[in-house]
Structure 1
Amino acid sequence: MKESSWRLCTAAEVEQVKIIISVIPIFACTIIFNTILAQLQTFSVQQGRAMNTRLTTSFHVPPASLQAVPYIMLIVLVPVYETCFVPLARKLTGTSSGITPLQRIGVGLFAVTFSMVAAAVIERKRRETYVDSGELLSIFWIAPQFLIFGVSEMFTAVGLIEFFYKQSLAGMQSFLTAMTYCSYSFGFYLSSLLVSLVNKITSSSSRDGWLSDNDLNKDRLDFFYWLLAALSLLNFLSYLLCSRWYCSSQSPSADLPPGPHGEDINHLDFTSSKHVAADQDIL
């Protein structure tokens, strides 16, 4: 009697599942990063509309155009990173890529916290200036939060794609790279969920929530930014634990028994071992 194919898995298929499970914590730690990206594309644009957008007497800066700043930063910084930073770091670390993909992701997750810190500080100053004197700050005051995010995206977004591509089993690179875009969708969904939860928790019978009026001069967007900064820092700390766990889980495994068709499983390229070894110094 022929045995059902649903009851048999090759060693390669088992390894594929193990790889997916092992990278899920790393993937999950990038969701908060993309939640912050959602704020730059929503509340930060609204923040810009409440500021002085005049550049000349006849030209006003469109607030939504500031979203281009992180991508301009990527265009400028990626070549600089590859030509200047990587050769220098390679001499110090002995790693071909300068720093490992996990280290690169970690730098970005740490840096993005300061994007929200800058956003909170500037929003508080903008609100107090308007309430006290009725003056509008220049829209360029919010440029730092976009600039810092551009730097962090160069590390995290590019590092995540590099990590998925280098650490995966041959044939799985496309699947794992596609998980990067799932992080974007989860991050934007979490952003909507956070706004709803914050409004519900901070609302009371005597006052509205932090973000309920759709008027930044009445809302407390700065408090929300501080909340995101705290979540980002906690996310970075959890990432350190997840990356350490991932590195420890990639130790060489014992010899595997022959596959169902007699093939030598020990010679299959389950992981890119040279990159796994490089990731051991993540912390």
Structure 2
Amino acid sequence: MENRENYPSSPLADQYSAIPSPHSSTAERKPGGWRSIKYILGNESFEKLAAMSLIANITVYLSTKYNMSGIFLVTVVDVWSGFSNISSLAGAFICDAYLGKFYTLLFGSIASLLGMGIITLTAGISFLRPLSCNQNSKSECTNLPKSWQLGVLFAGLGLLSIGAGGIRPCNIAFGADQFDTRTEKGKAQLQSFFNWWYFTFTIALVVALTGVVYIQTNVSWTLGFAIPTACLGISIAIFLLGYHTYINVKPRGSVFSDTFKVITAAYRKRRVEISHDNRAFYDPPVTDYELKLPHTDRYRCLDKAATITTPDELNSQGVAKNGWRLCSVQQVEQLKCLIAVLPVGVSGVGALMTMDQNTTFGILQALQMNRSIGKNHFMFPPGWMNIVSMVTLSIWIYVYERIYIPQARKVTGTRDKRLSMKQRIKIGIVMSILSMIVSGIVEIHRRNSALKQDSFISPASVALLFPQFSLTGLTEAFAAVAIMEFLTLQLGENMRTVAGAMFFLCISIASYAGSILVNVIHSVTKISGKSPWLGGHDLNKNRLDYYYFFLAALAGLNLVYFHFFASHHVLTSSPDCETRDQGHDFATSHSRNPSE
């Protein structure tokens, strides 16, 4: 990198800059570079604006227009979120094995457009929704959606999930492919690309969470959904305009296929003795586009998959005849890298599960609070609560990068005093504990004030929710970002789409785990005949505060688990996975001025 002494490096940029370039070594590179990036960033900005405007307000839409409440509402949102994230695994597989990044992104964008179009129709055509109810009434709504109405809604949400599966694991990786990292100029351009990507993402997020969400809540849901639908159409048009400028790296096979091959081959050879002589392993040279992973001694049972038991397993050219019986050392080491990230991934799921609560129960709290702000009685849209988390995240990035780091350097006299990856994850888990405790305390006040006045809407101000959403933003800034960075660095360069998919898999598991937990707690707490902690249209009849405190206890167990077990897997300095706990921060490296 140029000027490495002056500028903190981006872990993603470092990761990609070590990758053999996808560009031909014999021909002058004409496409790619910034000529392509402007189309990619344009596509990404409009796509993210559309996606985030729906994600931020889906709870409010389902509550007010589909009369969903309690357990069913939370389950629908969690399952949809989980499917959207777990589909990234399928998207990464299809991308690496068959379509490549361009066509995976294109088909994903088209699926998202169709899904958003269906959601817009549900808002604009009244018979696609149940009859409305008085949302401020304490009585349960009896106008529930019919099965076919839910079918139309779920079809739209399903297409959006399929689209997310194609877009999420490929968008950053496709942009990184456009730069020739064999040169110092290409490396510097790559780091600048990550800055610009985060900058445009933030702008799209601000527009989605302010303008579009406000239109949805206070003007018209139809117009509020038509805008992101149009944005998706524009994003596809921009993406196609740059077709002739893109560098398209051909698919080279999926890591997931190799994973199943290694497991199958190791099982078939489970009785084979592992030789300590590496010459007994099948270790052919890798392609020009891959980073060679040297053999390691961990998870030795998997080495059986690469053990040559008889000469008949190789053909006359020395190539394995059956990939399901004999795998290369490279394939085995890739699976070892995947296994190595699991302990930290478990802690990530715990932290992400607490973050999910504010997108569901936090928004439901806002719906039953006084949202009037200022002398003009401006009605604060519930979907805007997510802005609090984003603003907190942005403030922390600025403070960390512009105040903490320079002052720490002056005091200690050392060049780099960044928080290590382990420290950031641990702090993030602590923030998740605090966010649940604060959420429980606020809920006690909200509920008591509502019951005191015998009112569905609590007189407590919605501003009381700001601290818990701020703590959620800090949980993301520390834990979620550090875990994303850990996955990116832990997995090899040829697993770049897998790294993104693994992070979204953690989010998916967190969503499903949260949904299961909500249903279990509802079933268990209603056994005694008393009002259950969760469920129903009116939070005042529940004990959401108990649920928050229970989650705080689980987060405490997560902290103990990470401190005594998972944290030892963060300090991986093994060269096979190109991992170092250097304390580089994914978020802060992106927060720098894009012109640098």
8 Å Cα contact 1:88-1:98 kept in structure 2: no
1:53 aligned partner: 371
Name the counterpart of 1:262: none
Asked if 1:170 is matched to 2:487, the reply is no
Q: Tell me which of the two structures has the higher relative contact order, counting C-alpha pairs closer than 8 angstroms and 6 or more residues apart.
A: 1
* In 1: Cα distance, 2:333 partner to 2:562 partner: 23
Instruction: Name the aligned partner's letter for residue 69 of structure 1.
Output: V
Query: Residues 73-88 of structure 1: matches in 2 within 5 Å?
Result: 73-88=392-407
Measured in 1, the distance between the counterparts of 2:577 and 2:334 equals 10
Name the SS of the counterpart of 2:373 in structure 1: coil
Quick one: distance in 2 between partners of 1:93 and 1:194? 49
Matched residue, 1:265: none
How well do the aligned residues superpose, as a CA RMSD in angstroms? 2.5
Comparing 26-35 with 114-123, greater Cα deviation is found at 26-35
**Alignment match of 2:576 (pick from 264, 270, 276):** 270
Which letter does structure 2 place at the counterpart of 1:15?
A: E
Bigger mean CA deviation after superposition, 88-97 or 112-121? 88-97
* Other-structure match for 1:30: 348
Maintained 8 Å contact 1:52/1:136: yes
**Alignment partners' CA distance in 1, 2:564 and 2:408:** 24
Displacement of 1:58 in angstroms is 4.2
3-state secondary structure, aligned to 1:85: helix
In the alignment, which residue of structure 2 is the partner of 1:192? 515
2:362 matched to which residue of 1? 44
The 8 Å contact of residues 35 and 188 in structure 1, kept in 2 or not, is answered as yes
Contact 2:347/2:566 (<8 A) preserved? no
Q: Superposition pairs for residues 56-205 of structure 1, below 5 Å? A: 56=374, 57-88=376-407, 96=416, 98-134=418-454, 136-204=459-527
CA contact (8 A) 2:356 2:511 kept: yes
Q: Comparing 90-99 with 134-143, which one deviates more in the overlay?
A: 90-99
Residue 20 (str. 1) matches residue 20 (str. 2): no
For the residue of structure 2 that corresponds to 1:137, the secondary structure is: strand
Whole-Å separation in 2 of the counterparts to 1:236 and 1:197:
23
1:66-88 Cα deviation digits (max 9, x unpaired): 01211122223223322333345
The CA deviation string for residues 151-203 of structure 1, in whole angstroms up to 9 with x for no partner, is: 12111121112212223333223312321111111111111111100011101
Seq. identity, %: 29
Equivalent residue letter for 2:465: I
User: TM-score, normalized by length of structure 1?
Assistant: 0.83
Aligned pair in 2 of structure 1 residues 213, 66: CA closer, same or farther (>3 Å)?
Answer: same
Looking at structure 2, the residues matched to 81 and 271 of structure 1 have their Cα atoms a distance apart, in angstroms, of 28
1:196-234 CA-to-partner distances (Å, cap 9, x unmatched) read 000111012532311123311110000000011111111
Secondary structure in structure 1 of the residue aligned to 2:493: coil
1:182 alignment partner, SS class: helix
Aligned in 2, Cα 1:51/1:203: closer, same or farther, shift over 3 Å? same
Q: Indicate how the Cα distance of structure 1 residues 271 and 224 shifts in structure 2: closer, same or farther if over 3 A, else same.
A: same
Q: Is the 8 A contact 1:31 1:186 kept in 2?
A: yes
Shift of 1:97: 6.5
Q: 1:244 to 1:119 in 2, by over 3 A?
A: closer
SS at match of 1:200: helix
Specify whether residues 176 and 92 from structure 1 end up closer, same or farther in structure 2 by C-alpha distance, changes over 3 A only: farther
**Aligned AA (2:340):** S
Structure 1 residue 278, shift from structure 2 partner:
7.3
Distance 1:100 1:94 in 2: 15
Q: CA deviation at 1:20?
A: 0.8
Q: Is the 8 A contact 1:89 1:99 kept in 2?
A: no
1:8 corresponds to which residue?
326
Alpha-carbon separation, structure 1, partners of 2:463 and 2:501: 35
* Cα distance in 2, alignment partners of residues 72 and 236 from structure 1: 26
Check whether the contact 2:418–2:583 (CA below 8 A) recurs between aligned residues: no
Verify the 8 A CA contact 2:420 2:582 in the aligned structure 1.
no
Displacement of 1:243: 2.9
> Is the 8 Å Cα contact of residues 115 and 146 (structure 1) preserved in structure 2?
yes
Q: Which amino acid in 1 is paired with 2:556?
A: L
Once residues 577 and 529 of structure 2 are traced to their aligned partners in structure 1, the CA distance between those partners, rounded to angstroms, is 58
CA distance in 1, matches of 2:566, 2:405: 21
Structure 2 partner of 1:257: none
- Unaligned 5+ runs, structure 1: 253-268
- State the number of aligned residues: 261
Secondary structure in 2 matching 1:29: helix
Gaps of 5+ in 2: 1-311, 316-320, 585-596
1: CA distance, partners of 2:413 / 2:353: 32
Distance 1:196 1:125, change over 3 A: same
| Residue 220 of structure 1 pairs with residue 543 of structure 2 | yes
2:351–2:480: 8 Å Cα contact kept in structure 1? no
Partner of 1:255: none
For normalisation by structure 2, the TM-score amounts to 0.41
Task: For 1:247 and 1:68, locate their aligned partners in 2 and report how far apart those are by CA, in whole Å.
Answer: 31
